[in-house]
Structure 1
Amino acid sequence: MKKRLLAMSMALLMAAGLTVGCGGGTADTPATQAPKTQKDGGETTQAQASGGGESGEQVTIRFAGWLEVEEATSQLFKDLIAGFEAENPDIKVETVAIPFNNFKDQVMIAANSGDAADVIMGNDQMMSAFNGAQILQPLEGVLDQAVIDDLIPVYKEATMYDGKLCSVAWMPHPVAMFYNKDLFAKAGLDPEAPPKTWDEMIDAIAKISALGEDENGNRIYGLAIPNGKGSHAAQRFQGIVYSYGGNFLDDTGMPNVETPEYKEAFQFLKDMADQGYMPECVDAKDARSLFATGVAGITFESEMGRNIYRTTSGLGEEFDKSMGVALFPVNKTGESTTINTRHELGIYAQSEHKEAAAKLVEYLLSEEAAVMYYDAQDAMSPRVSISQLPEMNKDEYSRIFNEQSATAKPVKITNALFDNAMSEMSKSMERVLVNHEDIDTVLADLQKTVTDLYK
């Protein structure tokens, strides 16, 4: 039976690549219907279906996510749920904790059996698959419109499919530039004046690389960024593509990689590797390690970087003295254009308690929850009003990332095979960096491959 459910869930994943838009029904009648379970044996009343209990009756909803199973966020998540339940004593939240690597498949299996959680967490790639399988509830008319209207435009646009708001950004992750102040000083650069343009950045990368080795004989690189070994590196690479004015999808929603902009972005990687300024085919973990150990001058990272580098370096907050952060350098677009990714929240289309589920989503997007997450993890808010609060801008680090949010573009993930497409792009990056193949040939091959995937 488990094999059958898994096979059916994979079919739903494939369907996500062909279907756009949330569940096709009304707010109370989703297009995808499955037998509803009633755990107490009675009939489902209209009050229960809408999420509100009659006469103060308590309603139980479920939240599916991975924060509870990760050490860094487990206690924070419990505190968030406790805060919501304190404000909403008529709603109890049961958590469905699933490890990240198994999360997408498990949610799809549960949805296929008609038993998914009422509120579903996901990253941008997962939510695209959930949307394609039509298990997400359209949120207009369900969430408080004031909350929707307060979303930062780029984050709201990123979660809309076929004109419908199918999920909401919860934790935005705009990518900015990190740099090592100690290496800047050793290279004769001003550690308090980071590069503002692409040319200034390349000049700094060259000068830092010219330092050669550190006192322990370790090679010093001017730049360390993910540039191979999996889909994550390719997704992060889209930030560089954006800075050259390119875009993964054309106006029809199909891949568009055989372009001058992609060629320039690939050429940048090739130049960095050929000149010894950047190690080739490293993943995010490798790049972070190089920066945290002080042998890489520049890297690109999200707002999570501060805690990551404090931990990876083993120095804790002491590492902050060596770490600088600045807006992504201005390139061909004339502004600081980079990528953002997101954690998102959605409501299950077949939930019997959409009103209660909406209250939980609204609470997690509230000022109270945002400040709790910010204090614990430097987390950003996707809401205009909250992102500007003094409580969310306690230092220059936070101010940089809130400013970066305004120009950080999402990768529009409209197809469940986006991750496969990024894996193919990663292989193309390796062909250029390791095999030294012709960029035009590689991009032509990549265009055919990813177009076939999207078809």
Structure 2
Amino acid sequence: MKKTICALLALLLVCSAAFAGGSSEPAAAGGPVTIKVANYALLESGYEAFWKGIKTNFEAQNPGITIEWVTAPYGEIMNQVINMAGGGDKVDVIFGEIDWVPGLEDAGLAAPITDILPQEFINDFYPDVINSFKINGKAYGIPLYISPYVLYYNKELFRQAGLDPNKPPATYDEMLAMAEKLSQLKDSNGNKVYAFGQTTASVPVSGASLNAMVFNFGGQILDDAGRLSVDNDGFRQAFSMVKLLDERGYNPQNAKLKDLRNLFALGQLAMYYDQSWGFNGVKSINADAVNFTASASPLRGGSGTGQSLLQAHCFVLVDNGKARADATSKFVQFVINENQLNDYLANLTPAYPAKKSMANMTGVVNNGVLKGAAASAGNVKQQTFIPQLSDLNLELCTLAQAVTVSRQNVDTAIATFKRNIQAKLN
């Protein structure tokens, strides 16, 4: 068993038997086919109706193909998929995030998309987006939609602080000047209003958000060959900013994205970084959030241009033989289509299309929440894919906690980070 697979299992807190591979026997050609789709979103508020509608409508249009959902909470779905595969029962499709791709490919649970999807369909996706899914020249995931980390801000809190709600900050210096005023506010119940939220909790998505912040400052974490490369001003400046935000009490300490969404929805957080689709979580807590929420491009810091990390909700495909692969191809093409995603992106998950033919979807063009950050979709940077990406993201969280919770000097904390992650990369 490869070391990286063990690391993946450890990350997921799984103690399972050695990966055995294998798959169920495919249905006979021309006969009924069942495809298994792993999808955590069925258990999340607001998404269930959409995905149940997908199943109903797809099966109606494709007699003989049945979708069988494999569900588990967000933090456990990878565990579920790996355990099933270890018992010889592979799913056909995994609905997940781009950061999951290298681990799934390394574990043998991802097929090149060209093995399953027609080239004509793939060619409709923006080339830079498809390139972001490549490992050794082959793409191992296909995005439903994409997003950088955008800046969400509360227009009403801006007004209360005497700030122009139509002029969000463009740089970190501008943000700090505004944060000083915003941090003086209290909500209607007398609770503290935090000025700026950057997630630092020990979950991989928080590490991805910190990675995006490094890109904001023009820094990098890995070089093109996947080697650690943090001896640059942008990397240090990003974590110096994390420390400063904590010292001034602007940033909720050790918060998960869901914590930031909750605070933002309740009017206790003025600005925060999130994937564009995080607004669905905000809206599910407070439906009125659509009236006070606006978005802006990621902030520029240091010598950076405000570049952000490309994020995507995607399908990772598994090859379980021709019959199931053909059915999987039909399913993917059915879902990643304007007919299915227009209302979804307009009303559930604000995000940007990954396909050229969907660029002018009304659900995106007319979306007030997305409008302010529209330019940011063209200012993204790809993180180099390595099998240990989840480990790297978790170590970035540990670094952020070292300079905040533990109050360590930034240079000391970075030195410790380098030792810890280098041991996992070797």
* TM-score (normalizing by structure 2): 0.87
**Partner residue of 2:263?**
290
Instruction: Give aligned-pair identity as a percent.
Output: 24
Asked if 1:425 is matched to 2:414, the reply is no
Q: Which moved more, 1:162-171 or 1:399-408?
A: 399-408
Check conservation: 2:299, 2:306, Cα contact below 8 A.
Answer: yes
Q: Closer, same or farther in 2 for the Cα pair 1:75/1:351, shift >3 Å?
A: farther
Note the C-alpha offset of 1:376. 4.3
- Residues 89-143 of structure 1 show CA distances to partners (whole Å, capped at 9, x for unaligned) of 3433222233333221221232234321222323233332210022322122531
Asked if 1:440 is matched to 2:411, the reply is yes
Asked if 1:108 is matched to 2:82, the reply is yes
**Partner residue of 1:256?**
229
Note the C-alpha offset of 1:144. 2.2
Q: Which residue, out of 216, 229, 232, partners 1:243?
A: 216
Q: Closer, same or farther in 2 for the Cα pair 1:344/1:217, shift >3 Å?
A: same
Q: Which residue, out of 370, 393, 406, partners 2:378?
A: 406
CA distance in 1, matches of 2:21, 2:189: 63
Note the C-alpha offset of 1:235. 2.0
Structure 2 counterparts to residues 59-70 of structure 1, below 5 A: 59-70=33-44
SS in 1 for 2:226: coil
CA distance in 1, matches of 2:92, 2:291: 44
Check conservation: 2:246, 2:252, Cα contact below 8 A.
Answer: yes
Note the C-alpha offset of 1:322. 2.4
Q: Which residue, out of 160, 180, 200, partners 1:206?
A: 180
Please say which structure displays the higher CA radius of gyration. Answer: 1
CA distance in 1, matches of 2:159, 2:209: 28
**Partner residue of 1:26?**
none
**Partner residue of 1:83?**
57
SS in 2 for 1:101: coil
Q: Closer, same or farther in 2 for the Cα pair 1:69/1:84, shift >3 Å?
A: same
Residue-pair matches, total = 415
Residue identity opposite 2:391 in structure 1: N
Asked if 1:342 is matched to 2:342, the reply is no
Q: Which residue, out of 385, 391, 394, partners 2:357?
A: 385
**Partner residue of 1:167?**
141
Q: Closer, same or farther in 2 for the Cα pair 1:38/1:213, shift >3 Å?
A: closer
Q: Which residue, out of 159, 164, 185, partners 1:185?
A: 159
Note the C-alpha offset of 1:263. 0.8
Check conservation: 1:15, 1:132, Cα contact below 8 A.
Answer: no
Q: Closer, same or farther in 2 for the Cα pair 1:119/1:274, shift >3 Å?
A: closer
Q: Which residue, out of 282, 296, 299, partners 1:326?
A: 296
Q: Closer, same or farther in 2 for the Cα pair 1:203/1:95, shift >3 Å?
A: same
SS in 1 for 2:206: helix
Q: Which residue, out of 342, 367, 385, partners 1:371?
A: 342
Residue identity opposite 1:428 in structure 2: L
Residue identity opposite 1:449 in structure 2: N
CA distance in 2, matches of 1:107, 1:135: 9
CA distance in 2, matches of 1:259, 1:62: 45
Note the C-alpha offset of 1:375. 4.2
Q: Closer, same or farther in 2 for the Cα pair 1:11/1:330, shift >3 Å?
A: closer
Q: CA RMSD in A?
A: 2.8
Structure 2 counterparts to residues 260-279 of structure 1, below 5 A: 260-279=233-252
* TM-score (normalizing by structure 1): 0.82
Q: Closer, same or farther in 2 for the Cα pair 1:153/1:38, shift >3 Å?
A: closer
Check conservation: 2:236, 2:410, Cα contact below 8 A.
Answer: yes
**Partner residue of 1:397?**
369
